[in-house]
Chains A and B, each alone.
Chain A
Amino acid sequence: MSPKWRVWLAGGLLGAVIAAALYFPALRRQVDKAKQITEKTAEQARRELLPPTPVTSGDPKVKAKMFWGSKSEDGSLEAVNVELPLSKDPVLRAKQILNTLLAGPVDLESRTLPPDAALLAFYILPDGTAIADFSEALATAIPSGIQSEQLAVDSITRTLEANVPQVQRLRILIHGQEVETLAGHLDLTQTIPVSTAAPAAPARSGISVLTAPIEKAIEKVTGSAKH
C-alpha cells in the first residue's frame, strides 16, 4: 500500500471516530426522550381506559377541604379549600374528591400522592367501610419511608373525612389486590379508621360480621380487575 493511501485511510478512520463521538450522545438523548414519551403514553393510555368520573352539570359548586403537605411544618398536612362541583351521591362525591387529591395542589412540593397514581374503583359498604382501589403507581412511585407513606394515607383519610361523612373506615387495594404494605412500611392489611367516631377496625383473625362484606367487596374488585 502506498503512503498516500495510508494517509487517506487514517484520515477516513479519524473522521469516522469524530463523527461517531458527535453522533452517539445525540442518539442517546433521542433514545432517552423516546423512552420518556413511551412511559408517559402508557400511563396516559391506562388513564384513558379508566371510566371517567361523571360530573353532572347540575352538581353544585361547594368548598371542598383537601389535605396536602404543609409547607411550614415538616411531616404534617394542611387543609386547603377548593371550590368543586360535587355530587350528592357519596360514591361519586368520594371519586371526585380523590381524583382532585391525586391531581395535586398548585405547589408540587405539597403533593402527598405520586402524580401517576390513579383511582381505579371506589365502593362504600352499608356499614360505612369504603374500598378504594388505586393503580400500582401509588405503591411504586411513592417516596420510600414511614413518614411519606403515612402522609399519603393520612391525606386520603382526612380528605374523605372532611368531605364524605358517610365513609367511616377505609380499605386500600392496589390494582384490585390486597397488599401487605403501601411501599414497604405502612400496613394496608387492616381497615383504616376515617371518622374519629368510627369503631375500631375488626380483627382480621376470627369471625366478624364486619369482615364478611369487606371480603365480598374485595372479591368483587379483584374479580373485576381480573376480567
Chain B
Amino acid sequence: MRFSLLVLLGVGLLLSAAGFAFQDKPQTPIAAPNAANSGQAPISNSSPNPQRIGLNVVVLDPAHGGTDLGARGTEGIRESDVVLQFAAQLKRALEGQGFLVIQTREGNEDPSFDDRSARVNAQRGAIFVSLHIASTGLAGTARTYVLADFPPANDTTGLIPWDRAQAPFTGLSHKLGDMVQAQLAQRFRGSPPAAQVAPVRQLRTIAAPAIAVEISSVSVENRADLDQMIPGVAEAIARGVADFRPSYLLPVTPGAATGAQP
C-alpha cells in the first residue's frame, strides 16, 4: 500500500515537472513567410494547399508607461498618459471596423520591448500599431514609421530569430504604413504623404506587419489642441488598417502556430 502511494506520488511529481518544463519554453515557431517581403501572399513548401488567414486582430501599443513618462511638455502633458487615451479612441474606431483589439498595456505599467512583442507574436492574423507623441515637430502633424528592409537570418530550420522577427514582414509593414500615412496626410496638413523609414527598436522583434505612429507634439501650449487631434488620428489609422485588410493573407502550415522563436 505504502509502495503504491510512493509510486503514485513519484509519477505525479514527474508529470508536474514535465508540465513546468513545457511552460518555461514555449517553442512557437512559424514557417517564415519569405514571399511576404514582396507584399504577396507567400506559398509554403510544406503544404500543397495551405489554408489562408486574413487580418483579424490589431495589437495597439501605447508606448512608455510606469516610471517611463516618455515626452513631457511644458504644460505638464505626459506622453505615457496621452497615448492611453489615444489607444482607447483608436480601439473604438477599429472595433467599429470589425477588428479584435488587444492592448500591450491598459494602465500605468511599462512592459519591456519583448513583452510587448510577445503579445502580437502569439496571435494569428494580427498587425501591430505602436502609438507615440513626440516632443518635437510641427504641431498638428502625424508621421508613420516602418523599419527598412533587412535580410532575414539564414536559418535552415525555417524558424525566425526573435531579434530579427520583423525581417520577413517589412514589405507588408511598408504597405500598411503607406496606407495609414495616406489617411493621416489627408486630415493633417504638413504631414508627409508616405510612411518614413526609421530603426524603431520596438518594431524589430514583431513577427507581423508593424508600424509606429507619432503625432506632434507634447509641446503644444494647450492640451486641448492635442485632445482635438486624437479622434481624427484614430479615425485615419482605422481607415488605413481597413484599406490594408485585403492585402494581408498569410499561409497557415498544418501544426504551425504564429510567433517567432524567442
Task: Give the B-binding residues of A (Cβ under 8 A).
Answer: 74-75, 143-148, 150-151, 180-181, 184-187, 189-190, 192, 200-201, 203-206
Using known A-B contacts A144-B71, A180-B113, determine if residue A187 contacts B143 with beta carbons closer than 8 Å. Answer: no
Assembly CA distance A68 to B71 (angstroms):
22
Residues of B near A144 (CB, < 8 A) are 70-72, 79, 134-135
Assembly CA distance A186 to B150 (angstroms):
16
Q: Which one of A146, A151, A180 has the greatest number of beta carbons of chain B within 10 Å?
A: A146
A sample of 5 inter-chain contacts (CB < 8 A) reads A74-B138, A146-B132, A148-B137, A190-B199, A204-B164
Contact B64 A205 (CB under 8 A): no
Q: How far is the CB of B38 from chain A (nearest CB, A)?
A: 18
> Interface size on B (CB < 8 Å)?
37
Task: Give the A-binding residues of B (Cβ under 8 A).
Answer: 63-64, 68, 70-72, 79, 113, 132-138, 141, 143, 145, 150-151, 153-154, 161, 163-164, 190, 192, 198-202, 204, 212, 214, 216-217
Residues of B near A150 (CB, < 8 A) are 198
Assembly CA distance A74 to B136 (angstroms):
9
Using known A-B contacts A148-B135, A186-B199, determine if residue A75 contacts B153 with beta carbons closer than 8 Å. Answer: no
Assembly CA distance A201 to B216 (angstroms):
31
Extra contacts, 9 of them, besides A145-B134, A147-B136, A180-B201 (Cβ < 8 A), are A143-B134, A144-B134, A146-B200, A146-B214, A151-B136, A185-B200, A185-B201, A204-B163, A206-B153
Q: Which one of B64, B137, B202, B214 has the greatest number of beta carbons of chain A within 10 Å?
A: B137
Residues of B near A151 (CB, < 8 A) are 136
Using known A-B contacts A203-B153, A203-B164, determine if residue A148 contacts B200 with beta carbons closer than 8 Å. Answer: no
Residues of B near A192 (CB, < 8 A) are 199
Contact A185 B132 (CB under 8 A): yes
5 A-B pairs with the lowest CB-CB distances in the bound complex, closest first:
A145-B134, A187-B201, A144-B71, A74-B138, A187-B199
Assembly CA distance A205 to B71 (angstroms):
32
Assembly CA distance A150 to B148 (angstroms):
13
Contact B151 A200 (CB under 8 A): yes
Residues of B near A187 (CB, < 8 A) are 199-201, 204
